[in-house]
Structure 1
Amino acid sequence: MSTFQSDDIGLLRDDIAALDRALASAEPTEIIAAAAETVGAGKLALVSSFGTESAVLIAYLAEVDPSIPVVFLDTGWLFEETLAYRDTLTCQLGLTDVRTILPDAARLAEIDGERDLWFSDPDACCRIRKVEPLARALAGFDGWMNGRKRYQGGQRAAIPVVERDGTRLKFNPLANLDRAEVEAAHRRFNLPAHPLVAKGFNSVGCMPCTSRAAPDEDVRAGRWRGRAKTECGIHTLLNTL
């Protein structure tokens, strides 16, 4: 497998499609290693929700380099089970740089002082609790990784392995894995399930906007149920800030 190297991430912008083709059939660990080599030491982060489908990517990361920073957005609306799951996986996988990022307190007081913005304007709620904090957290990084998979459907059905995200590169190491492969990796790594899976939650985000899903529903059917919204914005709005 060939990789691309540069001291200046700007020089890679015309080569992203070629980089994506080079990694199209690569294993997750190969993609993670290539991402680290491409953007350079200390310039790559993984962003994880520590949700129901997060553990496999984090385990692959730990195989490659457990010191790669893992950015976790604590929105202030997370389930206690998610916070406990973060701590469990951090310990089990030997992660050494998990960064818990909080929303700006002044912004919350100004825009969501009553804590009901999730109901009246969920897009604005996601923006101040996820998108804006992540933009600050990724300052100084030239690339970031996330756990989206094509089988999750919706806007994720056609994601590439590598894409441009504003001034950064974004890597999707699990993009071309199917559900069976992810589940097999979960067993191989002997990973614990998110505590809420046993209670019927297939995908977990913030408490007000997460509900249980029936076995025959799409994996993300319980997110923002009853609304047209399907994404929090970090994959659609981050590079506009």
Structure 2
Amino acid sequence: MAFETDTFEEPKDRLARLNGELRNASAQEILRAAISREWPGGLTYVSSFGAESVVMLALIAEVDPSLPIVFIDTGMHFPQTLDYKDEVIERLGLTGVRNITPSETERKVLDPKNMLWKTDADACCALRKVRPLEPALEGFGAWVTGRKRFHGGVRMSLPVFEFADGRYKVNPLANWTQGDVDAYLEEKNLPRHPLVSQGYPSIGCWPCTQPAADPNDPRSGRWVGQEKSECGLHVERNERPRVF
């Protein structure tokens, strides 16, 4: 069951208020409002510890390093991602990171040879990412994402605040450009994911991630050759592909 949001304000009214007030606010202002005022004790960040994740993680560390952070360990991450995660946690002093894994019982039934990604990438994402996230979000009324409009596709119209599947989403970096990301990384001297220098501007699981095919499209190395651009975490339930 999803976290019950405040009853005194309908989601559409709350979204109108928040997007009106904070549409052009800084990422820090958005985070402070979300953490301290809107969802105190009821907010989490879901992080892949990918190419640009350290930006949001550093912003969180500035505001509240104890904020709960969910990392979905799909069992298919690059080894470099797992090492990088440990480095970033220590560097930023994050104390709320929790690892979430797919159901091992379900994996043994549906993907015993760990090859599902070859035959049905949507089903693999559902097994290893989407379904594990549901219980991880129990008790939270909202969650933070690191999505940005410049990543293109459906993200080009991304608002700062959304409401989907019974929870709010907070997108503090929606307005950021690649230049903003690069400038913040340099200003804070943040460690980069080691695969970025090898041509990976967007990093997911190793079977479905390649160096970017188009340098102007950060996500052009994800699910190459497939009509797929999202793992499903940010797709509403009724719009997700039908899988087992």
Do they superpose with TM above 0.5?
yes
What CA distance in whole angstroms lies between the structure 2 residues aligned with 1:48 and 1:238? 20
Letter in structure 1 aligned against 2:163: R
Q: Residue in 1 aligned with 2:122?
A: 123
Q: Residue in 2 aligned with 1:175?
A: 174
Distance 1:233 1:10, change over 3 A: farther
SS state at 1:56 partner? helix
Using structure 2 for the length normalisation, give the TM-score: 0.92
**1:122-151 CA deviation, whole Å, 9 max, x = no partner?**
111101100111111000000100100000
Q: Residue in 1 aligned with 2:15?
A: 16
Letter in structure 2 aligned against 1:126: C
Q: Residue in 2 aligned with 1:87?
A: 86
Q: CA deviation at 1:185?
A: 0.7
Task: Please list, as runs of the form range in 1=range in 2, the aligned pairs for 1:1-241 lying within 5 A after superposition.
Answer: 8-12=5-9, 13=11, 14-214=13-213, 216-237=215-236
What CA distance in whole angstroms lies between the structure 1 residues aligned with 2:218 and 2:227? 16
Q: CA deviation at 1:15?
A: 2.0
What CA distance in whole angstroms lies between the structure 2 residues aligned with 1:150 and 1:126? 23
Distance 1:31 1:198, change over 3 A: same
Percent sequence identity over matched residues?
A: 47
What CA distance in whole angstroms lies between the structure 2 residues aligned with 1:155 and 1:119? 25
Q: CA deviation at 1:197?
A: 1.1
Letter in structure 2 aligned against 1:220: R
Moved over 6 A (4+): none
Structural RMSD (CA): 1.7
Residue pair 2:214, 2:220 contacting (<8 A) in 1 also:
no
Q: CA deviation at 1:38?
A: 4.0
SS state at 2:182 partner? helix
Residue pair 1:132, 1:238 contacting (<8 A) in 2 also:
no
When the two structures are aligned, how many residues end up with a matched partner? Answer: 235
Unaligned runs of 5+ in 1: 1-6
Letter in structure 2 aligned against 1:104: S
**1:22-41 CA deviation, whole Å, 9 max, x = no partner?**
11011001111111134433
Residue pair 1:167, 1:239 contacting (<8 A) in 2 also:
no
What CA distance in whole angstroms lies between the structure 1 residues aligned with 2:96 and 2:239? 27
What CA distance in whole angstroms lies between the structure 2 residues aligned with 1:34 and 1:111? 42
Residue pair 1:211, 1:222 contacting (<8 A) in 2 also:
yes
Unaligned runs of 5+ in 2: none
Q: Residue in 2 aligned with 1:3?
A: none
